[in-house]
């Protein structure tokens, strides 16, 4: 068995060898606890039949654990300085492909067709850079990729928002966007002390398993997400106030908005954070004929 990359000694040794310094702009924090990496792969439920997409492999600490458990790993790395390091640290494994590309600009569907032909079970597993966590997860979900789920380590605060339930302070449009497509849960809290450099906050590992059908049946997905976003624009305001401010000509069409909210079976004086997914679906469906189609 290969010596783990994710130990303080080995990580510092690799960094010294290549004269590598962290780029704050890329949100680079390297994990130095192999047990946490083993747990992440366990929560992803990987087998020798699984294909894995990784984002931001760093020096390969998580990548090698994925390669040991899965059939094949394709990892996206944006920092060119890490490519020769990954060539070296991951050289014992023949089931890894590193792509030097920004995952937000990548054609993931085409990559899956080319790299994972014949593989039925697909997972995304990553230690995501804090600064682009949300756009990456939303891209993965909105593109409706053929994956079973996503297991990612991210800032604990973002994890709390992703897995939040209605009526809690963390519940918002991000909770709705992600829980619409997946069942989301926090499976592990990771203390900031197991990274170098040490970040300012703790992390969480979130497991999002794709639903066979979205959590709610809606007339228009884009409009549904817009309504959710508007409803949380100012958390202290009522649903009525937020929608009046957010919808086109909302102030002039106040009565129509109030009637539509009531038609959806919702009290206009409620706040967005009290509405369930089903209530947001009902709300967007009554508002769509009035405000959605003309845009």
Binding-site residues: 29, 31, 56, 77, 102, 127
- CA gap 125, 227 in Å, rounded: 30
Q: What angle do CA 37, 45, 105 make, to 5 degrees?
A: 75
Helix (H, G, I), strand (E, B) or coil at 125: strand
CA distance 7 to 68: 17
In whole angstroms, give the CA distance from residue 211 to residue 216: 11
Query: For residue 196, with 0-12 CB atoms within 10 Å meaning exposed, 13-18 middle and 19 or more buried, which class applies?
Result: middle
The CA-atom distances, in angstroms, between 172 and each of 109, 184, 210 are 29, 14, 20
Which residues participate in the annotated binding site for S-adenosyl-L-methionine? Answer: 29, 31, 56, 77, 102, 127
């Amino acid at each position: 068995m290969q010596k783990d990359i994710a130990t303080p000694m080995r990580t510092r040794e690799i960094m010294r060898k290549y004269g590598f310094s962290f780029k704050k702009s890329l949100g680079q924090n390297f994990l130095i606890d192999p047990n946490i990496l083993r747990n992440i792969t366990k929560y992803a439920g990987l087998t020798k039949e699984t294909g894995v997409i990784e984002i931001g492999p760093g020096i390969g600490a998580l990548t090698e654990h994925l390669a040991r458990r899965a059939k094949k790993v394709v990892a996206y790395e944006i920092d060119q300085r890490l490519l020769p390091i990954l060539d070296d640290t991951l050289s014992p494994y023949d089931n890894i492909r590193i792509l030097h590309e920004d995952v937000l600009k990548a054609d993931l569907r085409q990559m899956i067709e080319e790299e994972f032909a014949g593989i039925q079970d697909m997972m995304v597993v990553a230690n995501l850079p804090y600064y682009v966590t949300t756009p990456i997860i939303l891209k993965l979900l909105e593109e409706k990729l053929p994956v079973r789920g996503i297991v990612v380590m991210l800032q604990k605060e973002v994890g709390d928002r992703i897995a939040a339930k209605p009526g809690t302070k963390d519940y918002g449009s991000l909770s709705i966007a992600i829980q619409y497509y997946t069942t989301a849960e926090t499976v592990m809290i990771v203390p900031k002390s197991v990274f170098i450099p040490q970040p300012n906050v703790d992390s969480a590992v979130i497991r999002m398993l794709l639903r066979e059908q979205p959590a709610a049946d809606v007339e228009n997905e884009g409009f549904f997400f817009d309504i959710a976003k508007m409803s949380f624009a100012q958390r202290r305001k009522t649903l009525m106030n937020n929608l009046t401010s957010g919808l086109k000509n909302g102030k002039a069409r106040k009565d129509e908005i109030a009637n539509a909210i009531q038609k959806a079976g919702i009290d206009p004086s409620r706040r967005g954070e009290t509405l369930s997914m089903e209530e947001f679906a009902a709300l967007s469906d009554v508002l769509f004929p009035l405000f959605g189609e003309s845009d």
